[in-house]
């Protein structure tokens, strides 16, 4: 699959800008410089910023409502990417707005605690607490608790996969669908072919992933936890249907596709779609047609599962 010309242009622009790799910066500075091209923001019906209770502290969330008026909506609980270290509600505002309109759902974007100030399992705890609260307080959000999906990109895709497994194991809330956009699924595993082939020069680099991992984890043993690497869960049967989106020139490509294969082997309904571009491309939909196409695929697939 050939690197598409728009992506080549973006990579050339990034190289010309000469921005230092995130792993050479402090987490605080990395958060300041980490951004995605938002473009013109889509209008939605309503946006509400609020907090919900977490295990240790309140969790900020941003709730997006579609323009279509309904008495009750399906919901997508969304976890942003950024290696568990950077990213927030603002960096993924465009993604959540687009998915809200395309899927005709309420989207709840979760501002989970970030590492290294809050190492594993803080992000997992916040992610699960958020969807559990949404399920328990469905009327408060004007949503149908039988139609709650989880989703996320990169580290957020990791958290969505982990939450889906936890919900199945705890049997205390039904997740109807999981949207996994270039997810990290095997943080402690041996380097995949895509990690070696795309180690440098394609936006997300191997060195950055290693820095994210070191910021996120407390100790070497954490790598073997399925709450870190969902590939390590023992039983995938009974998990909700999934859409897994990957990119050809992404170190995480094989992790996402290997996870999709694991789901399929367990009888889970899953679709895997690969695009000829780089990690993060869905957040670059303002400048990449592939990102726009992937957003439309994600939104339309969600809508079909919701309705």
Cα distances from 262 to residues 71, 159, 162, 184, 252, in angstroms, run 38, 17, 14, 14, 16
Measured N-to-C along each axis, helices 289-306 and 93-103 cross at an angle, to the nearest 10 degrees, of 40
In sequence order, what are the beta bridge partners of 65?
A: 46
C-alpha–C-alpha distance, residues 150 and 79, integer Å: 8
C-alpha–C-alpha distance, residues 48 and 238, integer Å: 33
Catalytic residue, candidates 4, 222, 250, 254: 250
Residues whose CB falls within 8 Å of the CB of residue 142, separated by 6 or more in sequence, listed in order: 65, 71, 72, 73, 106
- Asked if residue 85 lies in contact with residue 30, where contact means CB atoms within 8 angstroms, the answer is yes
| 58 is annotated as an active-site residue | no
Strands 73-79 and 106-110: parallel
CA angle 307, 264, 108 (to 5 degrees): 40
Measured N-to-C along each axis, helices 155-170 and 122-136 cross at an angle, to the nearest 10 degrees, of 60
| 250 is annotated as an active-site residue | yes
Give the CB-side neighbour count of residue 41, counting CA atoms within 13 A. Answer: 13
Catalytic residue, candidates 109, 127, 154, 229: 154
User: Hey, what are 45's tokens?
Assistant: 């019906």
Catalytic residue, candidates 109, 144, 164, 279: 279
User: Hey, what are 76's tokens?
Assistant: 């997508």
**What are the residue numbers of the active site?**
154, 250, 279
């Amino acid at each position: 699959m050939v690197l598409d010309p728009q992506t080549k242009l973006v990579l050339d622009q990034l190289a010309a800008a000469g921005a230092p790799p995130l792993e050479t910066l402090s987490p605080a500075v990395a958060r300041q410089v980490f951004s995605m091209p938002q473009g013109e923001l889509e209008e939605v019906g309503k946006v509400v910023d609020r907090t919900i209770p977490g295990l240790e502290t309140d969790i900020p969330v941003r709730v997006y409502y579609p323009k279509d008026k309904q008495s009750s909506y399906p919901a997508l609980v969304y976890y942003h990417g950024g290696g568990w270290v950077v990213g927030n509600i603002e960096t993924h505002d465009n993604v959540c707005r687009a998915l809200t309109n395309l899927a005709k759902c309420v989207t709840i974007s979760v501002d989970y605690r970030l590492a290294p100030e809050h190492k594993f399992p803080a992000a997992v705890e916040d992610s699960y607490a958020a969807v559990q609260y949404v399920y328990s307080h469905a009327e408060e959000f004007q949503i149908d608790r039988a139609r709650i999906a989880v989703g996320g990109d990169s580290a957020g895709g990791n958290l969505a996969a982990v939450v889906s497994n936890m919900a199945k194991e705890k049997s205390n809330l039904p997740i109807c669908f999981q949207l996994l956009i270039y997810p990290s699924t095997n943080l402690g595993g041996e380097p995949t072919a895509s990690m070696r082939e795309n180690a440098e020069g394609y936006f997300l680099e191997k060195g950055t992933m290693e820095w994210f991992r070191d910021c996120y984890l407390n100790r070497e043993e954490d790598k073997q936890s399925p709450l870190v690497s969902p590939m390590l869960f023992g039983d995938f049967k009974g998990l909700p249907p999934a859409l897994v989106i990957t990119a050809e020139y992404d170190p995480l490509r094989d992790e996402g596709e290997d996870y999709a294969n694991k789901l399929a082997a367990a009888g889970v309904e899953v679709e895997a779609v690969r695009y000829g571009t780089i990690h993060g491309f869905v957040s670059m939909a303002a400048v990449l047609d592939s990102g726009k196409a992937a957003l439309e695929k994600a939104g339309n697939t969600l809508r079909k599962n919701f309705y």
